[in-house]
Structure 1
Amino acid sequence: MKLLDYYVSLRLHQKENDFTDTMNITVQELADVLCCTERNIKILLKRMAAEKWLTWKPGRGRGNTSTLTFHKDIRTGLLEIFHQMLQKEDVNAAINLLKENLPEDIKEELHHTLNTYFGYQEKGPETTKDVLKIPMTRELSTLDPAFVSVSSESHFARQIYDTLLQYDEKEKVFTAHLAHDYDVSADGRTMTFYLRKGVMFHNGKHMTSKDVLYTFQRLKDQNANSPCQWQTALVLDVRCIGLYTIQFSLKRKTRMFLHFMSSISMAVQPEDETELIGTGPFSVKDFRDDVLILEANTHYFKERAWLDRIEIWQIPQNTKVDLHYELPEESGNEQLGEAVNLLQVGSNYITFNLNKASIVQNWHFRNAIYHLFDIHLMIKELKKDKLLAATSLFPEKSLENPPSEKTLKQAEESLHASGYNGEILKVSFFDMKYSNEDAMWLKKRAESIGLNLKLHPFPLTDYYKEEVTANSDMILMGEMFENNIVLAFINFFKHKASFVNRFLAGQEEEHIQRIVDLLMDEEDEEKQKDYMDEIEHYLQERRLVLNSYHTYRKKNFPASLKNVSMNTFGWADFRKIWIKPAVK
């Protein structure tokens, strides 16, 4: 433990003495409080006295009472310590202090102080460095592009890695990126990519066609078991034609392969390198359980990022911090820029494990859950006004066709028709605030019609472990689509980590996969929409996926914060953000 930690423990021990500034206590009692020897206690007290945090007047004789006088009251003392923790960037210690049983007024002030730690900051002894500190209320999972599946992690991976192509969803065109050009053969079965020269990985190695080949082979490797392995199934052969040309031979003509080459799963990694090293605008400086630190890649092959450093810190879910891109306090009086609005593409949903022999195989049972999960009522009762009740993965469809009225009577009648006999059903979901609230609401409502649900929250870090949810009957989950909507839709059914992919089985799975394959080969935009409509209609009619809600976000940014445009994941492109300085 650090000296600060010992001092905090002493101050918190005062709660048993009504937080008085003077405490009478024996050395042995102090040793018990701080869990160390009497000899170490005397050393610690002398060091604290040298810091002028307290005065220690030892009692005469062994076992006699000593007097500790703190130089600042409990509020001032803890605030000072809290500031020191943040100045030393010991965010963990600061967060742990917030978890203590402190008086509410002190805890509120500590929360406010933590707020000022996040957001935009300028650092550097000689040259100014632009640093953005962002809080997150959960631990990050993998950032490996071959495995990344969660929206925020996908966004961060996009800052670290690059793909051969990029897809412009608005214009419906592919643009050159790591590949400066590409050819498609007349029969559509051979695609050749011409790589940029001089592109460097973060470790200083120059990118060549061998790295692209390695990336593809790693994705295809059965032993690696990437959830995106399905994207390699169409490839017959891959050849490096020189250092900067690579050619893919396909089993059949499909433009979708170009979409694959723009997806994060195909982001190029250096040959035989397992660390988080890419060619992207930011490199990984540090990645631990509590923090991800990204630094600007000064050798980026395109325009360098304006921000120098980005820090993403994990904080407790109940911490009162909600800042992402805020400016320093001195900029707080300026006029706000344009508001950025975002309505989640994709939706939260319930799906059923058809691989398990249970009552969920019965349509009437699934219909009972459909009527039981009244989203309009849940939004009202839980006061979740930033949600839009969903009937589709696409918010525009949900707005056109809002959910029909649902009643407990309908749910109870369907439950009775299913032959349900009181068995306990396991419902899994991410162990996060919103998911817990949704699951608890559903459980309570289910009890009112005699349905027994057992809730199984699991951490996001267990997302890729199939055994964690294999015995579940249902799951409450969410899917947030990336900007490439058609690819994201296909991924929803093909990606091995997707619970719709995991839980569908039998004829239902065969039917869905057949239409998804047709969608994958279709180039006409209107026909693509028809296929997606057909799939959603099938899932809804058979109550296989029950859409619950879309999340609505609205964010006002200071006028000085430039180039902020949120993607469908709710994040801004870090490379493009910059701060317009005040001109005096």
Structure 2
Amino acid sequence: MDTATTHYLRLATAKELSLKFHEAVPVTIESLSAALCCTPRNVKFILRKLEEQGFIHWQPGRGRGHHSEMTLLRSVNEALEESFLELMGRGKMKEAIELIGSTEKNDALRERLLNSLNKQMGFHSHAESSSGQDVLRMVRSRRLAELDPAFVYTAFETYLLGQVCSTLITYDAKTGTFLPDLAHMWECNEDQRVWIFYLRKGVRFHHGRVMTSRDVQATLERLRTVDSPFIWLYRDIERTEVVGDYCIRFYLSRPNRFFLNLLSCVSMTILPYDVDVTQQLIGTGPFRINEINETVLIISAFDAYYGIRPHLDRVDIWFVPNLGPYERHYELPGTDRLKLATDDTGSNSVDYPATGCRYMLINFRKAGIHHQLEFRQAMRIVFDPVALVRELGSNRITPANSFLPWKSAEHPWRESSLEDARELLYSSGYQGEKIILAYTVAKDQKEAEWLKQRGASIGLCIELQPFVEFLNVRETSEADLIIAEEVLEDDWQFGMINFFINKRNYFHICLSPDLQSIFYRKMENFLQQNEEQRSVMLNEAEDLLRDNCWILYGCHMNKKALLNQSLFGLHTAEFGFMDISKLWIKNQ
């Protein structure tokens, strides 16, 4: 915010001055000097500027014993709002968003500023400018997480990587088949231990160099070098052989029926061998990164893209931690927002019932009563899926007994009695000790408060541990229970095996080493099985979770997107996000 506004807010909020709105208050130059942390000479200069800009009325004292008087002409809220609008008008989005962060304790002002911010979000066609660019602006209610394909786990970042980078092949969820991408053809020998991929020619990375088979080889080697949590999935690959610039051969130690799935997933996003991805993310996708920092990610259409160039020219994604949900604005999964009218008139609606669910983790790394099966069975009743959907509703569409909605639909549902939970609590030896429940504010606030209330009704003392954005691994180590949500990839079998064996997710972090080894042993030969056999193995793994209450399933979620009717090319990418590479604006 500008200097004049900063000085005015210091004066207006200085308790020792006790200044009042539209009321003259006696002050001294010395007291103003202390409040502004500057010399008396500078105070007079600042006062003159504030009076010129209409912030104050200043009446200097005349003669010995006569105090000067100051009158505030604007309220603190007015000053903040005017400063915010000025910053927005000058295109200073970062400073404007930081100003919103300073209004946490003023809900009414925060709401107004967010409304103003959202008017600047959405789709903008700058046909009147020399560039003639179509720009999409979005806001996220958290910080940007890791964008390294070797380590990425969160849904939004995985989605972003799909807009910036490409894989050898892609998985088509509608047909259950694999389609060419960076590789135009592939083949394997009879026992599926040798695979050959033939690469497209002329595909360029964003820094201009043509992609070759050496980049594919280096991408796989990097997974090993950085000890990626995905590397377990690629352990059957003994070596790779570069056969010219546009052909690469993979040699496996044993047959692998899941091999195509592994080459279509985010971990095998092809990166240039000559660029350090930790310093600069370079891909071959439809968008290239122009700017990335903790406040904003700006991506622009890559004109040399080997596929169809995006209709949008630029996408600005702003990150505003502490941004709560506001239902009048369009939200993509994970609280992305675009400007909408306050009703549904003139908008398109896209529903995306997500594969995955909201659930509760048990922290077996911490000692406590939650290690008793009867206690976890009691918690399963407190976190009853039928009651959760019935009482909280909204985008909680169906009760969950699995990560897979079609499996949950087979369950004979009936609501459990809290009295049964009370008896199980007693049997577990629970004696009223505090149970810490960790959750993220933007997504899980209602569930957390609902659980605390239901627990209290049967004598269960739940203490809430809120986190503004991502759950903090170190701090959640003190929690007994954690509310989480898993949204699986379109290739749901990959999503589930990654959930069970990925060392960086919260499920793995909360399991004891003994429980971890159970899942590793169970999935030992997963990659060698056919699709039906893999489904059986994943069902058995979920049976373990259910029977032992190692996690407690909650509900399946609907990701609803509302977009203005001027938008066309509405296609969902993975996890239910809009595929921004296909969106376009019909100018009115």
TM-score w.r.t. length of structure 1: 0.86
Please list the CA deviations of residues 203-248 of structure 1 after superposition, one character each: whole Å capped at 9, or x if unmatched: 2233222222221111112xx2322222221211122222222221
1:134–1:311 CA contact under 8 A, matched in 2: yes
Distance 1:402 1:115 in 2: 44
Q: Which residue of 2 aligns with 1:307?
A: 312
Moved more, 319-328 or 391-400: 319-328
1:480–1:568 CA contact under 8 A, matched in 2: no
Distance 1:58 1:540 in 2: 76
- Residue 487 of structure 1 and its aligned partner are, at CA, apart by 0.8
Please list the CA deviations of residues 77-101 of structure 1 after superposition, one character each: whole Å capped at 9, or x if unmatched: 6544322111233334434544448
Query: Residue type of the partner of 1:367?
Result: Q
Please list the CA deviations of residues 361-381 of structure 1 after superposition, one character each: whole Å capped at 9, or x if unmatched: 332222121112124434555
**Matching of residue 489 in structure 1 with residue 496 in structure 2:** yes
- Residue 555 of structure 1 and its aligned partner are, at CA, apart by 2.9
- Give the alignment of 1:4-403 within 5 angstroms: 5-6=5-6, 9=9, 13=13, 17-20=19-22, 25-47=27-49, 58-59=60-61, 78-98=80-100, 99-100=102-103, 108-123=111-126, 125-221=129-225, 224-271=226-273, 272-273=275-276, 274=278, 275-315=280-320, 316-318=322-324, 320=326, 322-323=329-330, 336=346, 338-356=348-366, 358-379=368-389, 381-382=391-392, 384=394, 386-401=396-411, 403=413
Root-mean-square deviation (CA, aligned residues, Å) is 3.5
Moved more, 530-539 or 378-387: 378-387
Q: Which residue of 2 aligns with 1:409?
A: 419
Question: Which stretches in structure 2 are left out of the alignment for 5+ residues?
Answer: none
**Matching of residue 579 in structure 1 with residue 588 in structure 2:** no
Q: Which residue of 2 aligns with 1:552?
A: 558
Query: Residue type of the partner of 1:579?
Result: I
Distance 2:434 2:55 in 1: 57
Distance 1:225 1:231 in 2: 12
- Residue 480 of structure 1 and its aligned partner are, at CA, apart by 0.6
Query: Residue type of the partner of 2:160?
Result: F
Moved more, 169-178 or 435-444: 435-444
Please list the CA deviations of residues 15-61 of structure 1 after superposition, one character each: whole Å capped at 9, or x if unmatched: 96553287765444444444443344344445556667667665557
Distance 1:498 1:5 in 2: 44
- Residue 125 of structure 1 and its aligned partner are, at CA, apart by 3.1
Moved more, 71-80 or 392-401: 71-80
1:166–1:176 CA contact under 8 A, matched in 2: yes
Moved more, 144-153 or 177-186: 177-186
2:382–2:418 CA contact under 8 A, matched in 1: yes
- Aligned equivalent of 1:522, options 522, 529, 535: 529
Partner-residue secondary structure (3-state), 1:231: helix
Distance 1:146 1:9 in 2: 46
Moved more, 336-345 or 8-17: 8-17
- Aligned equivalent of 1:474, options 473, 481, 484: 481
Distance 2:196 2:28 in 1: 79
Query: CA 1:192–1:127 in 2, change beyond 3 Å: closer, same or farther?
Result: same
Query: Residue type of the partner of 2:93?
Result: V
Partner-residue secondary structure (3-state), 2:571: coil
Query: Residue type of the partner of 1:207?
Result: M
- Residue 287 of structure 1 and its aligned partner are, at CA, apart by 1.9
Moved more, 129-138 or 409-418: 409-418
1:165–1:178 CA contact under 8 A, matched in 2: yes
Distance 2:286 2:188 in 1: 29
Moved more, 510-519 or 181-190: 510-519
Please list the CA deviations of residues 432-485 of structure 1 after superposition, one character each: whole Å capped at 9, or x if unmatched: 23324433433443344444445444565565x5x5545544332111111111
Distance 1:73 1:444 in 2: 39
Question: Which stretches in structure 1 are left out of the alignment for 5+ residues?
Answer: none
Distance 1:332 1:559 in 2: 14
Distance 1:418 1:77 in 2: 57
Query: Residue type of the partner of 2:211?
Result: M
Query: Residue type of the partner of 1:363?
Result: L
Moved more, 394-403 or 573-582: 394-403
1:21–1:74 CA contact under 8 A, matched in 2: no
Identity rate of aligned residues, in percent?
Answer: 32
- Residue 167 of structure 1 and its aligned partner are, at CA, apart by 0.8
Moved more, 411-420 or 299-308: 411-420
Query: Residue type of the partner of 1:438?
Result: E
Query: CA 1:50–1:176 in 2, change beyond 3 Å: closer, same or farther?
Result: farther
Distance 1:64 1:90 in 2: 43
Distance 1:531 1:103 in 2: 52
- Aligned equivalent of 1:418, options 428, 439, 442: 428
Query: CA 1:61–1:340 in 2, change beyond 3 Å: closer, same or farther?
Result: farther
Partner-residue secondary structure (3-state), 1:541: helix
Moved more, 125-134 or 378-387: 378-387
Moved more, 166-175 or 121-130: 121-130
Query: CA 1:361–1:14 in 2, change beyond 3 Å: closer, same or farther?
Result: closer
2:370–2:480 CA contact under 8 A, matched in 1: yes
2:20–2:72 CA contact under 8 A, matched in 1: no
Distance 2:549 2:561 in 1: 35
Distance 1:248 1:195 in 2: 14
Q: Which residue of 2 aligns with 1:433?
A: 442
Query: CA 1:106–1:361 in 2, change beyond 3 Å: closer, same or farther?
Result: closer
Moved more, 176-185 or 335-344: 335-344
2:21–2:73 CA contact under 8 A, matched in 1: no
Distance 1:65 1:84 in 2: 34
Distance 1:63 1:158 in 2: 72
Query: CA 1:378–1:398 in 2, change beyond 3 Å: closer, same or farther?
Result: same
Q: Which residue of 2 aligns with 1:534?
A: 540
1:345–1:568 CA contact under 8 A, matched in 2: no
Moved more, 318-327 or 190-199: 318-327
Distance 1:574 1:474 in 2: 36
- Residue 426 of structure 1 and its aligned partner are, at CA, apart by 4.3
Distance 1:453 1:404 in 2: 25
Query: Residue type of the partner of 1:218?
Result: R
Distance 1:516 1:237 in 2: 23
Distance 1:355 1:78 in 2: 46
Query: CA 1:422–1:49 in 2, change beyond 3 Å: closer, same or farther?
Result: closer
The alignment of Structure 1 onto Structure 2 pairs a total of residues equal to 575
Query: CA 1:371–1:75 in 2, change beyond 3 Å: closer, same or farther?
Result: closer
Partner-residue secondary structure (3-state), 1:347: strand
TM-score w.r.t. length of structure 2: 0.86
- Aligned equivalent of 1:446, options 431, 455, 458: 455
Distance 1:475 1:332 in 2: 34
- Residue 163 of structure 1 and its aligned partner are, at CA, apart by 0.9
Query: CA 1:82–1:428 in 2, change beyond 3 Å: closer, same or farther?
Result: closer
